[in-house]
């Protein structure tokens, strides 16, 4: 069961890969199958169309259709945390409205990332306008901080200001910058803010610091291990060994581009051709790279 929290989410969420058909369009059937597999493996929820899901490579209409397909295929809406960010305010509003329409438990929103010098005031106005235009008390926004990819970061001061202005709507963050010091500071200084680490590497430390869990790309494969760390911590038991097991698997994947590597491993684990494809500009791993990667990752033991 998903951990009960007042007004929010918690636990192990997978940053879900998007399977593609031969035309490089989202394959809805494979998408549903994978999300249900992840939930069966113990994930508290699935975050679709984020960075790992190649979200910004797909149109608004493609993402809307896929969300509908997931819910129609049996994925509970309340366990969805879709990426709805866009440089276009109106597109972000439309995607948030669609997420609410399928009953999503929250939305993960990137800052508008084209204009790098907008500053905190410009970013505040974007998120404030988003909340006001959606105008729905069900909206739960998780701010997505991944400046090494987006080129635009979210300062703690900005997140505090947004949370204070919209305490029931802007409720948390996914921090994927990869700096423990920032995650810890966010947990300790932003009272009532729900902090997800962007990597399972920080899962146990985040929970101990008062955060709510992780949203991890690697959980496409290692969600059972991540869930074990979470459950041990929640039970007040020693989770250090389980965290070390989790870290060892992630280390085996270091040095490879994340999305192509994970898709290659999923293809080997499932035999499903939908995982061999990425939408350009991303490219699959070469055969040699894939063999080297697979030799160090026991995929058959994970799914």
- Could you confirm whether 51 is annotated as catalytic? yes
Model pLDDT, residue 4: 39
Assigned architecture for domain 11-298 = Alpha-Beta Barrel (3.20)
| pLDDT one digit per residue (tens) for the chain, 303 residues | 233 345 479 999 999 999 999 999 999 999 999 999 999 999 999 999 999 999 999 999 999 999 999 999 999 999 999 999 999 999 999 999 999 999 999 999 999 999 999 999 999 999 999 999 999 999 999 999 999 999 999 999 999 999 999 999 999 999 999 999 999 999 999 999 999 999 999 999 999 999 999 999 999 999 999 999 999 999 999 999 999 999 988 888 888 999 999 999 999 999 999 999 999 999 999 989 999 998 888 776 566
Is there a catalytic annotation at residue 174? yes
List the catalytic residue out of 173, 174, 206, 263. Answer: 174
| Catalytic residue flag (residue 116) | no
Distance CA 191, CA 183 (A): 13
Can 256 be counted among the known catalytic residues? no
**Per-residue pLDDT at 303:** 63
Residue 95 and residue 58: Cα distance in Å, rounded? 12
- Catalytic one among 142, 144, 230, 256? 144
């Amino acid at each position: 069961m998903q951990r009960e929290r007042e007004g929010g989410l918690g636990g192990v969420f997978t940053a879900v890969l998007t399977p593609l058909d031969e035309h490089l369009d989202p394959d809805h059937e494979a998408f549903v199958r994978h999300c249900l597999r992840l939930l069966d493996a113990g994930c508290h929820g699935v975050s679709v169309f984020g960075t790992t899901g190649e979200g910004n490579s797909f149109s608004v209409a493609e993402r809307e259709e896929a969300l509908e397909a997931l819910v129609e295929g049996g994925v509970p809406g309340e366990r969805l945390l879709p990426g709805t960010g866009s440089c276009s305010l109106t597109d972000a509003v439309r995607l948030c409205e669609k997420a609410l329409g399928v009953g999503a438990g929250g939305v993960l929103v990137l800052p508008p990332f084209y204009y790098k010098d907008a500053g905190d005031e410009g970013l505040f106005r974007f998120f404030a306008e988003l909340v006001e235009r959606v105008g729905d008390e069900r909206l739960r926004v998780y701010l997505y901080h991944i400046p090494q990819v987006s080129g635009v970061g979210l300062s703690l001061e900005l997140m505090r200001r947004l949370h204070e202005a919209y305490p029931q709507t802007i409720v948390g963050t996914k921090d994927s910058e990869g700096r423990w010091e920032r995650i810890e500071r966010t947990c300790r200084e932003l009272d009532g803010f729900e902090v997800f680490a962007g990597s399972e590497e920080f899962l146990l430390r985040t929970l101990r610091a008062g955060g709510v869990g992780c949203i991890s790309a690697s959980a496409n494969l290692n969600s059972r291990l991540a869930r074990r760390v979470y459950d041990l911590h929640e039970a007040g038991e020693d989770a250090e060994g389980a965290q070390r097991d989790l870290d060892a698997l992630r280390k085996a994947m270091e040095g490879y581009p994340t999305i192509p590597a994970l898709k290659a491993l999923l293809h080997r684990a499932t035999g499903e051709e939908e995982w061999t494809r990425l939408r350009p500009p991303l490219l699959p791993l070469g055969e040699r790279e894939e063999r080297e990667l697979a030799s160090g990752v026991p995929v058959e033991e994970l799914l």
